[in-house]
Amino acid sequence: MSDFSLSMLADVAEGRLSVEKRVRAFLQKCRDNKELNAFITLFEERALEQARAIDRKRQAGQQTGRLAGMVVAVKDNIVIKGAPTTCASKILGRYDSPYNATVVERLLAEDAVILGKTNMDEFAMGSSNENSAFGVVKNPHDPERVPGGSSGGSAVAVAAGLVDAALGSDTGGSIRQPASFTGTYGIKPGYGRVSRYGLVAFGSSLDQIGVFANDPAVSALVLEVISGHDNKDSTSAAVPSFSAKSNGDVSGLKIGVPAEYFQEGLDPVIEKGVRDLIDDMAGAGAEIVDISLPMTDYAVSIYYIIATAEASSNLSRFDGVRYGRRAEEPADLTDMYARTRNEGFGDEVKRRIMLGTYVLSAGYYDAYYNKAMRVRRLLKENFDEAFKKCDVILSPTTPSTAFRFGEKIDDPLSMYLQDIYTVSANLAGISAISIPAGKDADGLPFGIQAQAPPFNEHVLFNCAQFIHNLKSI
């Protein structure tokens, strides 16, 4: 686990700790854990350069940023100027971004050191990190098992202590599910909280950048830094920032427990772990409310219609014309498109492009896309109703702990059901976090998910802090 704590930031600011030394240690650790395959690109010289600049800044008596000394990783679907962005796909070839994502600008402005870009499922499509053109990522709790996905690299980099925090992206659970599988804190903020400018789009109406960390306070601080309105993203919300400080006091908190999240298919060990934590919170003064989210049963189905529809259009730009890989010696334009995309995309990406193209096709649009959008509104209304009765909804994050490599890869439906508890938050645009809740008999971690209204992330961090305090006793 990472040795990071917020007091370390003070050590850096007051000159007791050199950022360069810290970065060197992390780089060594990354090399020692190469077999985890968490990174696609590791910024050795670039990170050291940045670290030295921060040290010089401090020595010169200049004010350093709020994240000075913190070492972070960025998922490889978030662009960094002059560095490769692969989205774990072959199709981008040797693509270097000409600009920084807004979140990257904000991290750099606060002097976070970016150590590298993490492995993922190709274009963030997958729940196991097995869909990467750069190989699988291994779960540090059991290298025979998947780390979850699609932000598997970021989850593992944090879980193995290779960085202090990492950015991921979450379209249907891509932060929370790997957080659950790796025993880390993974937050997906409310839609619009964080700018998507520079995040390579998968499902634009669902995608949101979030944070992995081993400590809720670190997670909250990083999220606070990357949050805020951005006029480069029309969907970013103009809402006041939240405070990163939570004390973990849950007395008076109204906790909603939805029956629909505790049904068949849920590992009994996880169910017990989650229910025990809810009882602990009740013991600390929280009020438990039974709620119902009847549209939950349709969430996975409509998610795979909406997300794939948007993806089929978002991924059209990878055509071999301007950047990335292009098929050699094409016969004509159509042949160039067909072969470039056939050679460049992996199977899961192709499957989703085809699904999305189908649901948007003339004659099927109303039956699929339009209907899914209507159900999405109903699902959102379910949450609006529920949040009239409670402040936060607690449930498991995933129905099971980490599975073995190859176990689900040939069964897309069972893989898609990994998202059963997580997709709703994306569809409804609300905020959600996975908090480490316990381990099963094999020592594999699982998480408890907390969901709150779109910009009530502080409530989530408060729950996380409560559980964190409980485990630290």
Partner 1 sequence: MKYEVVIGLEIHAQLSTRTKIFCGCSTAFGAQPNTQVCPVCLGMPGSLPVLNKQVVHYALKMGLATRSKINRRNIFARKNYFYADLPKGYQISQFELPICEHGVLEIPSGEGTKKIGITRIHMEEDAGKSIHDEAFVSKHETLVDLNRCGVPLIEIVSEPDLRSAADAAAYVTKMRQLVRYLGICDGNMEEGSLRCDANVSIRPVGQTTLGTKTELKNMNSIKNVEKAISYEIKRQTEILEDGGNIVQQTLLWDPDKNEARPMRGKEDSHDYRYFPDPDLAEVCIDEPWLQRAQEELPELPDARRLRFERELGLPAYDAELLTSSREVADYFEETLSRTNNAKKTSNWVMGEVLRLSKEKNCSVRELPVTAARLAELMQAVEKGEVSQSAAKTVFEAMDKDDAPVKVLIEKLGLKQLSDVSALEEIIDRIFAENPDKVESYKNGKTKLMGFFMGSVMRISQGKADPQKVSAMLREKLSS
Nearer to partner 1, 141 or 196 (CB): 196
CA dist 352 and 172 (Å) reads: 14
180 is an active site residue: no
Which residues here bind partner 1, judged by CB under 8 A? 77-79, 85, 87, 92, 95, 97-99, 101, 196-201, 203-205, 231-235, 309-310, 312-313, 315-319, 321-323, 332-333, 337, 357, 360-362, 365, 369
Smallest separation, CB 152 to partner 1 (Å)? 20
The catalytically annotated residue of 75, 117, 188, 408 is: 75
The catalytically annotated residue of 150, 180, 195, 236 is: 150
Nearer to partner 1, 203 or 273 (CB): 203
Nearer to partner 1, 314 or 398 (CB): 314
Residues 6+ apart with CB under 8 A from 470: 277, 280
Residues 6+ apart with CB under 8 A from 42: 27, 30, 115, 116
Smallest separation, CB 238 to partner 1 (Å)? 11
371 is an active site residue: no
Smallest separation, CB 339 to partner 1 (Å)? 13
Strand partners, 290: 257
User: C-alpha distances in angstroms, 46 versus 128, 198, 406?
Assistant: 30, 20, 36
Task: State the DSSP H helix or E strand holding residue 450, giving kind and residue range, or none if neither.
Answer: strand 445-452
Residues 6+ apart with CB under 8 A from 8: 17, 69
Q: How far apart are the first and last CA of the chain?
A: 17
Smallest separation, CB 243 to partner 1 (Å)? 27
Neighbouring C-beta atoms of residue 377, cutoff 10 Å: 12
Nearer to partner 1, 218 or 427 (CB): 427
Smallest separation, CB 163 to partner 1 (Å)? 21
The catalytically annotated residue of 2, 132, 154, 174 is: 174
174 is an active site residue: yes
Nearer to partner 1, 28 or 316 (CB): 316
Per DSSP, helices labelled H in 361-472 are 371-389, 412-416, 423-428, 457-472
> Would you give the DSSP letter of residue 317?
G
The residues carrying an active-site annotation are 75, 150, 174
